[in-house]
Amino acid sequence: MKTLKLKVPASTANLGVGFDSIGMALDKYLEVEAHLSADEKWHFEHIGPHLLGLPNDETHYITNIANRATEKFNKEMPALNLKMFSDIPLARGLGSSASALVTGLYLANHFANLKLSKYELLQLATEIEGHPDNVAPTIYGGLVLGVYDPELNHTDVSYIDIPKVDVIATIPEYELSTEKARKVLPETLFLKEAVKYSAISNTMISALIQHNYELAGKMMMKDGFHEPYRQHLIPDFHNIKQVAIEHGAYATFISGAGPTVLTFIKKELSGKLVRALQDEFKNCESELVTINRFGASQEIINL
């Protein structure tokens, strides 16, 4: 039987001041094996702790996305049998819903024969998500900058080299929904503030391009678009940042909408810091994560 195997990475969004625009793919994955369902009904088998409690029938989010994509192109989405494994914890700011969204689009692309390119899949993913910062790196890999124009319904993206730093994720045991973390943000900013934070963001990107991680890190920690409004939702954020800075980190910032906290640090210093974070913040899992370079991948196998 022909089976489609997908491996779809996690992602971290914002990188401090790149709110809703900048994201980076990480080597944690949603892995899926899918084939046509014999009884024409959707069946999901979830493996591992992170997918516990998700529906195992057509009410699944992934079915919804696949149907939405096929309807847009006036095609039929066949029902599938899916086996899914994930090491991306849910509602932690590591792009688990973007990886599910991209999975739904890849399934539609293959099984409804849409023949969409990665560029077209990105357009569709951003139209659904509303911003490209998780879906773009999930599809393409690496560090991606993007902008979605809702009036034109169009997304443009650009890339820069992945930073030559070690990345530590400090993942709290509690969840924080993106919805809740977006509700605390202000509706509008004064022009003066918008100019300030976009200048900081510009400088951050230029510093990353020049591999000047001291300056990039300094800029990442001057965000004014989301972190000041969200930090109270992550009680350990301030102390994690303190410990990281004492250990020589370049920057510590909220991953996506949180509650995961991400740290960029020199390779020589990362081991000592990850152990210190693990010792000090027992209600969090601190781990070194590598950056994914190539984004979502698929292969067809005969099982």
- List, as residue ranges, the binding site: 89-99
CB of 266 to ligand HSE, least distance (A): 26
Q: Interface with ligand HSE includes 226 (CB under 6 A)? A: yes
Q: Which residues contact 177 (CB under 8 A, 6 or more apart)?
A: 91, 257
SS3 285: strand
Tokens of 175: 């969840």
Residues in the chain: 303
- Cβ proximity to ligand HSE, 257 vs 277, nearer residue: 257
CB of 4 to ligand HSE, least distance (A): 26
Q: Which residues are annotated as a binding site for ATP?
A: 89-99
User: How far apart are the C-alpha atoms of 34 and 82, rounded to whole Å?
Assistant: 5
User: How far apart are the C-alpha atoms of 36 and 134, rounded to whole Å?
Assistant: 29
CA 105 to chain centre: 16
- Cβ proximity to ligand HSE, 225 vs 281, nearer residue: 225
Of 129, 97, 95, the closest CA to residue 11 belongs to 95
Which window, 99-107, 114-122, 176-184, 239-247, contacts ligand HSE (CB under 6 A)? 176-184
Q: Interface with ligand HSE includes 22 (CB under 6 A)? A: no
Site for ligand HSE in 103-162 (CB under 6 A): 131, 133-134
- Find out whether 250 and 204 touch, Cβ atoms under 8 Å: no
Residue 83 bridge partners (DSSP): 33, 45
Q: Interface with ligand HSE includes 14 (CB under 6 A)? A: yes
Which window, 11-19, 152-160, 198-206, 271-279, contacts ligand HSE (CB under 6 A)? 11-19
One residue of 37, 56, 123, 178 binding ligand HSE per CB under 6 A? 178
Tokens of 246: 């004492």
Residues in contact with ligand HSE by the rule CB under 6 A? 13-14, 19-20, 131, 133-134, 178, 181-182, 226, 256-257
